[in-house]
Structure formats: C-alpha cells, structure tokens
Structure 1
Amino acid sequence: MTTIITPDICDAFPSVRVLEPIFANYGGVDAFYGPIRTVKCFEDNSLVKQAVAEPGNGAVLVVDAGGSPRCAMLGDMLAEQAVENGWAGVVMYGCVRDVDILATLSLGVQALGSHPRKSDKRGEGQRDVAVSFASVTLTPNDWLYADNNGILIADHALPLDQT
C-alpha cells in the first residue's frame, strides 16, 4: 500500500472534504485508504459483523453509529475478521473496545473513543447508504484517506504519486 500523508494530499487536492478532528487512532495501521462501504446503525453492531465477514478487497468500512458513547460497535473479534477478509480499515462514528488488541492488528481503526460494553444485536440498521457526521457526507464508493493528522474524503481514487 502506498504511504499516505493527509496534509500532503490536502495540499495537492484542495477539493477533498475533511472530517472534523474528533477521531482517534486505535488500529495497528496508522495510515490507510480505500473505497468506502457504509453501515448505519445505532447501538446494534449486527450489520458491522455482517460486513466484516465479507471480502473487503481493500475497502474502508465507515460506520455511522450515531456517535453513541454507551457501547462499543467493534472489538477484537470483528476487527480480526476484518483483517482476515482484506479490509483496509474501519472508521467508527461511535466507540470501539479491546483497544490493546486492536493496536496489534494490521487494520486501520479510527473511532470517537473506547467503551468496554458490547452493543446489542437486533439485526437493525442499513448498509451502503450515504452517511453524514463530522460535517461531511460520505457516500459508498467515495475514497477515504486517513492517518494521524485526520480523515479526508474524495469523490474518486486520487493519484497519490502527485502528492
């Protein structure tokens, strides 16, 4: 995977959309990118579990969990499955858990915070829909670029050799 530096991407491509700086890195990969696939759910990670069980093919799973601070929507078992199935990363507008293990995995994970409680499993939510949080709308097949500096969204894959 090409090394990315989001400040350089912003300089080279000023039209990228930048998420508000509310996320922290929890994964073992600090910088990651790929096409977006989305899940929208609230305190129910059934569709997150379903998504990471499928081939990721280098995509980034963007989860709009409503920003809930009351439970974790991703933990070590689902993150390990995401690694096994080829996901580049997960951006969680919500919380994650098992953070010491997440930090050892070959997966980019950015989230609002950590919480020890697991979510419910009611099978509720939506997949592959536009989601909006952190002042940006993210649409399936947009491209996400993330590192310790922030998270960027582009309408298409960027030619990173221009940064």
Structure 2
Amino acid sequence: MNAVRRLKAAFPEHAVLADMKTIDTGALEVEMAAKAGADIVILLGSADSSAIMDAVRAARKYGVKLMADLISTDDPARRAKELVEMGIDYINVHVGIDQQMTGQDPVRILRDLKINVPVAVAGGLDAQSAAKAVISGASIIIIGGNIVRSSSVTESARAIRRSIDAPEVAEEPERSIDEQTLLLLRRVSTPNISDAMHRKGAMKNIRCICPGNKAVGRAVTVQTFEGDWAKTVEAIDVAKKDDIIVIYNGSPHVAPWGELATLSCINNGVSGVVIDGAVRDVDDIRRLNFPVFASSIMPNAGEPKGFGEINAEIQCGGQTVKPGDYIVGDDNGVVVIPKERGYEVARRAVEVEKNERRIRDEIKRGKTLSEVLYLQKWEKR
C-alpha cells in the first residue's frame, strides 16, 4: 500500500485508483486500500458474488468507489449487469494480453454492454482504438504498452490524448482473420516469429536463394521423390494468390525446381517456394527476383514420373507442414506456423518486434544491451 500512500501524498487533488485485482476477502482488501488513501478500488469481476457484496459493504463504510475488472469473465455483458446490480460503481472492460493475441477486442465487448455506470476500457488500445472506445461510450481509457513501449512516450501520450478529446475513426475495410494474419506476418521477421513461438517452427538447412526477398503465405504442400518434378509443377495450378508451395523432395542431388517453374509461379500469383531438396537455374531465378528457399543447389534435373501427392501432411526442413499452415521466409530462413495458431503467433511476433524496437532505441541513446536487459540481475547464481 506504500505506492498508494505516496501517490495520494503527491497528488492530493486527484483520485487514486488501487488496482488490487481482488478475487477473495473483498472487504479486507478494500479496507486496506481505502486506509492507504485510495479513492477507487479495483476487484475482479470474476470473483465470487459473496466477495463482491462484502467489498461493496466495505466500500460504503470507508467512503470509496469500486471498479470491477471484467478480464477473463465468461459472459462480460451478463456479468457487468450483475455487478452493477450488486453496487459496483465502475466497470472496466479489460482484455488481457494473451486474449488480445487470439483476437479479442475490448471495444467489441464494450458495445455489447447495457449498463448505466461509467465504463473504462483497457487492453491493447492505441490512438485509433481509443477513439473507437470513446465513440462507443467509454468514459475512461486505460493505455499502457502503446505509451511506455513507444520510442517517444510523450508524443505517443499526446497522440492518444488528442484522439480521446476529438475522436475520429477512419473507415477501415473489414478483413478476415486470414487477411489480418498475413498483414501482420509481413511486418515481422522470421527471428521475431521464432521468438514468439519459443524458438520453435524454424526449418533446418533451408536458405534463401534470392537474398533480400521475403515470402509470406499459406502452404500448398507437395510430397515427391528424388528428381520427380511432376507434382511440384502440378502444384502451381493448385496454388492461389498468397500461397507458398512447400516441397519435400528428399534429395540434395537432383533438382525438382528451376527457372520455368518459377516463371509459372509468378504468372499465377504464388508468393514463394520452399524446397527440402535442390533447386537449379539459380542465376535465372535471381534475375526473376522471386522468393525461392532450398536446401541445396544442383544443375541436375530429374524426370516427371508423377509419384507423390499434393496437399498432404509433409516434413520439410525437419518441421511438420500441413496444407494451409502459414509459411514465412526471409534471409534468416523459413518458419512454419500451424494454421490454427496463425493469428495468435502473428500478434505475438509483432509484440516481439515492438519490444526489440524499444531496446534498439535505448541502445542508440547510449545504454549497452546488457544494461537494457538487466542481464546481471537475472543471471542464475
């Protein structure tokens, strides 16, 4: 409670909110916060109703207000109504970081509420979404990461303040989760994605044939055999825009892919090709500037025998790849993301990139990497 006491002493004219996240012993924690100087105490909306009711009684006794945080409640709209009926003064529509990674949006939840108390909104808000929240009825906007992790805290705070004071929302096209996932993945690198997946998903020994190219798309898989390029070429007709053809050929000595197949891919709008095996005509492919990733380069071509299968589960670079999985390749290598985790991993990778940007800015301001990461503090001893 020392933080509450110090804030109240420093800002006696302002309301101090104690974010207790109370789940049990509601009356006790409300009393503690109130006696420390808090004006508003936050408890969890998912707390048992008996704890909520006791907290309300304590709040009335000590003259403080209560805010209920709806994070991780099963039915936020229903629970908000119940909480208000029990005597809660404010509702906080809060979507946690892990929930944000799966696409949950506090503004959408806000729009479903039918209550008559002030509503706060928290969870991944930036200037644009803060404006949406105000337009949708929010009285209080809570923003953390998009201020403290920005390169200029002051400018970010001012931009958000302006969006709250004069909210305007630009029209945005409705995008599917798949479209959003692809857009997010184009913003990040394969190292960002690997970090977001806890060092998983990277293909072994697959390298970019055309440096400087990046490929992002959904997997069209091809299982073929040494030198047999029939199915690899047929897959071009199966692949659609934003698809990547992923091939297991099994031989580093005979190439199932070359310039003519690459040209056909370009004409069909395919985003790239990944081959666990050999590629040839590398000079021509580089002139075409098309993203091809392979484990070896050989001049030998095989024959179109027709063995194998398109869009079956395969192994490529030591990773399991299923049709529709998300594939990202750049100069660092290739990663595969299971399609059911595509949006989540893309969001987490963006957060990794944001954090690296903050670290980069601190290094540019003169700190060492060790200082920024507090390495000595966290070393095992």
Query: TM-score, normalized by length of structure 2?
Result: 0.40
53-62 vs 119-128, greater mean Cα deviation: 53-62
SS of structure 1 residue aligned to 2:264: helix
Q: Is the 8 A contact 1:34 1:59 kept in 2?
A: yes
TM-superposed CA distance for 1:106, in Å, is 4.2
TM-superposed CA distance for 1:58, in Å, is 1.0
Q: Is the 8 A contact 2:219 2:325 kept in 1?
A: yes
State whether structure 2 residue 205 is matched by structure 1 residue 31.
no
Counterparts of 1:2-151 in structure 2, within 5 Å, are 2-14=186-198, 16-20=200-204, 22-27=205-210, 30-42=213-225, 43-66=227-250, 68-151=251-334
More helix by share: 2
Q: Is the 8 A contact 2:219 2:245 kept in 1?
A: yes
SS of structure 1 residue aligned to 2:288: coil
Matching residue of 2:28:
none
Q: Distance in 1 between matches of 2:269 and 2:287?
A: 16
143-152 vs 46-55, greater mean Cα deviation: 46-55
Q: Distance in 1 between matches of 2:332 and 2:253?
A: 26
Q: Give 5+ residue unaligned stretches, structure 2.
A: 1-182, 354-381
Deviation track 1:21-44 (CA, whole Å, cap 9, x = no partner) reads x12211376211111110100121
Q: Distance in 1 between matches of 2:237 and 2:274?
A: 16
2:283 partner amino acid? D
Q: Calculate percent identity across the aligned residue pairs.
A: 25
1:5 partner amino acid? S
Change (3 A) 1:28 1:102: farther
2:333 partner amino acid? G
Q: Distance in 2 between matches of 1:39 and 1:12?
A: 27
Q: Please point out which of 319, 335, 340 is paired with 1:152.
A: 335
More strand by share: 1
Q: Is the 8 A contact 1:16 1:154 kept in 2?
A: no
Change (3 A) 1:29 1:83: farther
Change (3 A) 1:28 1:150: closer
Larger Rg: 2
Query: TM-score, normalized by length of structure 1?
Result: 0.88
Root-mean-square deviation over aligned CA pairs = 2.0
Larger RCO of the pair (alpha carbons < 8 Å, separation 6+): 1
